[in-house]
């Protein structure tokens, strides 16, 4: 099953980097959609089939936390897997996110840490044989 991913970050550079890292992981990827803020992210959720969202916290127009709140209120997106990828994240905030079922990765991150968190969400188990399957 190919995963359709939504990347929501106000930095085009960060979206590009996350997209590249996801492609390197060997995960079965379908479409990778991108949005520059939470409002655009919600619009993308309404237009495309998305399996997992990677979301920054601090963005203009609508923050990642506001987008997450909107998602949780919408029955179509309430249970959608979300990974927050951010430089901001006090232990209290991280705990609050985890209580909502959200995973958290602190920027900067390693490709392996991103892969492992995505794997934990989509149920793909990392085996030693996968270590050699990374693509350029």
Tens digits of residue pLDDT in 16-71: 999 999 998 888 899 999 999 999 999 999 999 999 999 999 999 999 999 999 99
The rounded distance, in Å, linking the Cα atoms of 10 and 33 is 13
Task: For CA atoms 121, 125, 126, 132, give the dihedral sign.
Answer: negative
Does residue 133 form part of some domain?
A: no
Tally the domains of the chain: 1
Q: 135 lies in a domain?
A: no
Check: CB of residue 39 under 8 Å from CB of residue 130. Answer: no
Q: What secondary structure letter does DSSP report for 101? A: T
In a domain, 104, yes or no: yes
Range of the domain at 115: 3-123
Q: What is the pTM of this model?
A: 0.85
* Burial environment of residue 28 by CB neighbours within 10 A (0 to 12, 13 to 18, 19 or more): exposed
Residue 86 lies in a domain: yes
Q: Would you say residue 54 lies in a domain?
A: yes
Evaluate whether residue 7 is within a structural domain.
yes
Report the alpha-carbon distance of residue 90 to residue 79 in Å, rounded. 24
What's the pLDDT band for 123 if we cut at 50, 70, 90? confident
Q: Is residue 136 part of a domain?
A: no
Q: Tell me the helix, strand and coil percentages in the chain, rounded to 5.
A: 45, 20, 40
Question: In the predicted model, is pLDDT for residue 103 greater than 70?
Answer: yes
Mean pLDDT for all residues in the chain: 86
- The backbone torsions φ and ψ at residue 86, rounded to the nearest 5 degrees and listed phi first, read -155, 155
CATH number of the domain that 38 lies in?
3.40.50.2300
């Amino acid at each position: 099953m190919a995963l359709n991913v939504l990347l929501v970050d106000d930095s085009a550079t960060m979206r590009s980097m996350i997209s590249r890292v996801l492609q390197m992981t060997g995960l079965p990827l379908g479409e990778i959609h991108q949005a520059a803020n939470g409002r655009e992210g919600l619009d993308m959720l309404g237009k495309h089939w998305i399996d997992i969202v990677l979301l920054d916290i601090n963005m203009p127009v609508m923050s990642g936390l506001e987008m997450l709140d909107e998602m949780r209120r919408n029955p179509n997106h309430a249970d959608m897997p979300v990974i927050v990828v951010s430089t901001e994240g006090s232990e209290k905030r991280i705990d609050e996110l985890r209580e909502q079922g959200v995973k958290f990765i602190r920027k900067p991150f390693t490709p392996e840490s991103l892969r492992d968190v995505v794997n934990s969400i989509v149920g793909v188990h990392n085996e030693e044989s996968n270590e050699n399957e990374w693509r350029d």
